[in-house]
Chain A
Amino acid sequence: MPVSFVQADSLLALDVGSITTRASLFDVVDARYRYLGSGEAPSTANAPFHDLSEGVHQALERLQQITGRVLLGEDAKLIVPSQADGSGVDWVVATVSAGPPLKAIVVGLLADVSLESATNLLSTTYAQVLNQIHLGDHRKLQDRLNLILQSQPDLIVVAGGTEGGAERAVMQMLEAVGLACLLSNEENRPYVLYVGNSAIREQVKKSLGSLGSLVLSANIRPTLEVEQLEAAKLDLMSAFRQIRCAHMPGFLELDQIAHGGVITPSFGWERVVRLLSKAYDQRKGVMGVDIGAAATILAAGLGGNATVGVFPQYGLANPYLRNLEQIPIHDLMNWLTFDISPQVLKNTLLTKQTYPASLPMSVEELEIELALARLMLQSSLREMRKRLKNFGGGELPVLPPMEPIIASGSVLTHAARWSQAAMVLLDGLQPTRITTLVLDQHHIMASLGAAAAVNPVLAVQAMDFGTLLNLASVIAPLGQARPGTVVLRAKLTYEDGREEKMEFRYGSLYRIPLPFGQTLQLHLQPLHGFDIGMGGGGVGGKARLTGSALGVIVDARGRPLPTIRDTKRRQEWLRKNLAVLESR
């Protein structure tokens, strides 16, 4: 008799996004955890509702209709734990990204040391850095004080001083923070997260402890060379939760029913990617991307270590941050297969920003959104690069080896065709060597990260069983050659014993159809020193790939992708690329 690690507990995952609220149900079926379904409703954090609960309730009602399971009692409250009659759930987890980003100020000693780490810390959550204060800014105390008071931040992150390093200078920087807290009304008093030299924690506590919410966390820059964000990330998550509880109606109620408290989707992504990175090939990283209206999230894990970046400035339609002048319109036009004036393109983008939940109705507008998604991925990745330097693969700015790459976000999962989603990922991330593109078609990855804290077995098993869509296997040889040069040879052996030999030329994109349920043995031989991740340049080997929506894509277009200046040629190249992925 097989041994089951499954405790027969059901789990409800609630996710309140800026546009949609989802309730997803997981339970045991045939001795394994499975995803049973999701109910969706428009989020109600915004006016006129101003209460998350309404959207959560509607999503739960929808989930009840879909799954047939009674989740709400007669008092309209969630039934926890599950009852003998099958109603209710045993565990509840929740993620929330709705609402404007936290307004933050970072305070530190050196701009390129402690401030950089404090900014990196803030980029792991939904925050907007309004101002930076540091020793080199040459501001007087009164100017720093006025700056903080005028900014009205939700959060001040104070960093500075390596372990055993500067103390007095850090205390000096804290003077303006202390005064600002003292002079702020209690309701507007910022939350202070201290992540500096731990030797002066007591002094910091003495200075700021009585002035409101102060959390003393571990030093994020213990030495000049080392950045350690892990402990501070947990405290930042806690700060986020407390700030939202104080200012966002319905958040506190959700926090009270969620086991482990509400977390942000970015925190969930980081946790799930960390979990997966332990399970997959330890020589490669695991990557998660979520292209949302409010932010783009990138998460990467390697051997149990993980990093995450939240980029509200690269959301597809963030009404709080998007300044149209900052969008490189011509870069965006480079991804379009039709001519459009910058003026008309700007009108379209501004309309999307005004109505973030709206959907493209024409072929052209869909193409614009997919182009914008590429640009947002590229921009986010550029900001993330420093944090990916430990992921191997050498030659940044090329993406280090990552497998799988799991992608979420409506622009991908609700794309008209899988080929469109794949092209966004191939062009936006430019993966290298051998990887698998996976679509989080039910938007549950962040929720599984939240679930991992209470039931890691569920988080792993729910991913296994058809919840995620295997979009394509990708082979992207890395190297430089003249266009048209054969850079990879492959011998393909299908399940039925059929064999085929193929050559792949530099500058081109290929697709080998491989339906779900089938496998393909590949004997790969890279040429001209090209690297496919089998042990270095020119080293080949065998790979066994499984069937997926698009099969196997060989992306020999080069890394980075070529820049084609001639508009007509570029448009033709884009059309051709897509046609390859859509070929039968």
Chain B
Amino acid sequence: MQLPLTHFQALTTMRRERLLPFAGKVLARKGQKVQSSDILAECELTPQFALVEYGRGLGLAPQKADAFLQVKVGMDLEKNDLIAGPVGIMKRVVRSLHAGRVVLTGEGQLLLRLKSQPFTLQAGFEGTVVELIADRGVILQTVGVLAQGIWGNGRAANGIVVSVLAQADEELTESHLDQRAHNAIVIGSYVSKETTLEKAAALPIRGLVLGGLEANLIPMAEQMPYPILVLDGFGRYPINSFAYPILVTNEKREAYLSAEKWDAYRGIRPEIIIPLPVEDYPTESHETSELSVGNRVRICRAPFCGRIGTVEQILSGKAILPNGLSVQAAQVHLGDGELVVAPIANLEIIET
């Protein structure tokens, strides 16, 4: 059975789509080496339109008003530019209330596409543009650390990685968030208190990487101005033993924290990328793999939620779980020597 992979890799080659939210202009070129702040593409974020009823403004019937129209489709207007008129003794005119481009005219009405600040798509991390996607963006390739999560609050940022805990499994609290964390991507363990998230926002930090987050903090986490990435589970889970060392050993390096919502349909996962300065590109990460004996796996449901182990045996036929469910299952050897039976549906293959 092919299962999707989760990556906690110290060195891998990654290709990531960097896309505009709406169609726009791609500025990068194929083969270009980019830094995290380089602009790859730009677009208007949400096109806004305004309807100008110049017929009514001139006090004329729509067909009559068209004769007094002073602009054409495609023209750029500034605020207060003349649109139609003058009409009558009072020299009545209609002027634009906004800057924008004329899209449609006729029957006494005009549709203006409003001018707005362009949205610019930054590279986010250092890499090479390996492919252009017309009007939408690029595929960027880089080499480095990759740790993928299960939840993100929808934000993204880059910054320097900082570890603030003395022990990997102690709760991250506001007392840990001192000047070291200022403007940094903080590697924590788990958070169970609102005050921790609030302190992180006040400091401010650039991002937060956690093993676990209590589900009742999710609404608040979604409102935080910085990206939050959860790697392991909902509750009190420290960062797993594979991700933690590769993150803390790369302290002081610049990372890109993409805390996008996990969208299995589109293949978007929240993750942290730390580009590394290496000459040769190692093998690219796989996206799926056949479950087999020897695979490193993580169990995603209680009572072993977040535990990582190795597949000892894929059971033929169905296994009966303690709750009576009859399932396709595998025997998994957990790190502490415990041997457990888990449904295959509850296993994620971990690539390290």
Contact = CB atoms under 8 A, between A and B. Distances in A.
A364 B302 CA distance: 10
Contact of A348 (B302, B343, B346): B302
Nearest to B305: A351
A561 to B, nearest CB: 25
B322 A183 contact: no
B324 A416 contact: yes
B234 A351 contact: yes
B133 to A, nearest CB: 13
A261 interface: no
B212 to A, nearest CB: 9
Interface in A34-53: 41-42, 45-50
Interface in A139-162: 140-142, 145-146, 149-150
Given A183-B49, A350-B234, A365-B301, A324 B288 contact: no
A142 B302 contact: no
Interface of B: 1-4, 23, 46-51, 103-104, 111, 150-151, 214-216, 218-219, 233-235, 262-268, 287-288, 300-305, 321-327, 342-343, 345-346
A63 to B, nearest CB: 16
B4 A48 contact: yes
A205 to B, nearest CB: 20
Contacts of B104: 179, 182
Given A47-B264, A342-B216, A355-B300, A414 B326 contact: yes
Interface residues of A, number: 49
A66 interface: no
A562 B50 CA distance: 56
A349 B346 contact: no
A350 B302 contact: no
Contacts of B342: 361
Given A179-B111, A342-B216, A346-B215, 15 more contacts: A41-B1, A42-B2, A142-B49, A343-B216, A351-B233, A355-B300, A355-B346, A359-B321, A359-B343, A361-B342, A361-B346, A362-B323, A366-B325, A415-B325, A416-B323
A414 B325 contact: yes
A282 interface: no
Nearest to A323: B219
A157 B112 CA distance: 26
Nearest to B103: A183
Interface in A338-358: 342-344, 346-351, 354-355, 357-358
Contacts, number: 135
A166 B314 CA distance: 66
Interface in A94-151: 99-100, 140-142, 145-146, 149-150
A142 B103 CA distance: 13
Q: Which 4 A-B pairs have the closest CB atoms?
A: A47-B267, A416-B324, A346-B215, A48-B287
A365 B342 CA distance: 14
Contact of A346 (B216, B264, B287): B216
A359 B216 contact: no
A319 B262 contact: yes
A361 B215 contact: no
B265 A149 contact: no
A417 interface: yes
18 contacts: A46-B264, A47-B4, A47-B264, A47-B287, A49-B288, A100-B265, A324-B218, A347-B233, A351-B234, A351-B305, A355-B301, A358-B301, A359-B346, A361-B346, A362-B303, A365-B301, A366-B324, A415-B325
Contact of B214 (A183, A343, A366, A415): A343
A365 B302 contact: yes
Contacts of B266: 47
A1 interface: no
B262 A354 contact: yes
Contacts of A358: 300-301, 343, 345-346
Contacts of B288: 48-49
A149 B113 CA distance: 12
B23 A185 contact: yes
Nearest to A46: B264
Contact of B267 (A48, A140, A145, A324): A48
Contacts of B23: 185
A42 B323 contact: no
Contacts of B1: 41-42
B161 to A, nearest CB: 25
A325 interface: yes
A73 interface: no
Contact of B51 (A140, A355, A414): A140
A180 B315 CA distance: 55
Nearest to B324: A416
Contacts of A414: 325-326
Contacts of B2: 42
Nearest to B23: A185
Given A140-B51, A142-B50, A347-B215, A361 B303 contact: yes
A363 interface: yes
Nearest to B48: A146
A416 B264 contact: no
Contact of B323 (A145, A179, A344, A365): A365
A359 B218 contact: no
Contacts of A355: 300-301, 346
Given A42-B2, A319-B262, A363 B216 contact: no
A360 interface: yes
Q: Counting chain B CB atoms within 10 Å of each CB, which of A146, A361, A362 scores highest?
A: A361
A325 B219 contact: yes
Nearest to A329: B216
A343 B321 CA distance: 25
A15 to B, nearest CB: 18
B51 A141 contact: yes
A332 to B, nearest CB: 13
B328 to A, nearest CB: 10
A361 B322 contact: yes
A492 to B, nearest CB: 31
A355 B300 CA distance: 8
B302 to A, nearest CB: 6
A78 to B, nearest CB: 21
A361 B3 CA distance: 19
Given A351-B300, A360-B301, A46 B267 contact: yes
A357 B328 CA distance: 13
A343 B215 CA distance: 7
B223 to A, nearest CB: 12
B301 A351 contact: yes
A335 to B, nearest CB: 16
Nearest to B261: A319
A502 to B, nearest CB: 30
A142 B109 CA distance: 11
B300 A149 contact: no
B214 A347 contact: yes
A50 B323 CA distance: 34
Contacts of B215: 324, 343, 346-347, 349-350
Nearest to B287: A48
Contacts of B103: 183
B322 A362 contact: yes
Nearest to B45: A150
Contact of B327 (A46, A145, A359): A359
Contacts of A145: 49, 51
Contacts of A47: 4, 264-268, 287
Nearest to B5: A48
Contacts of B323: 360-363, 365-366, 416
A47 B3 CA distance: 11
A72 to B, nearest CB: 18
Contacts of A360: 301, 323, 325
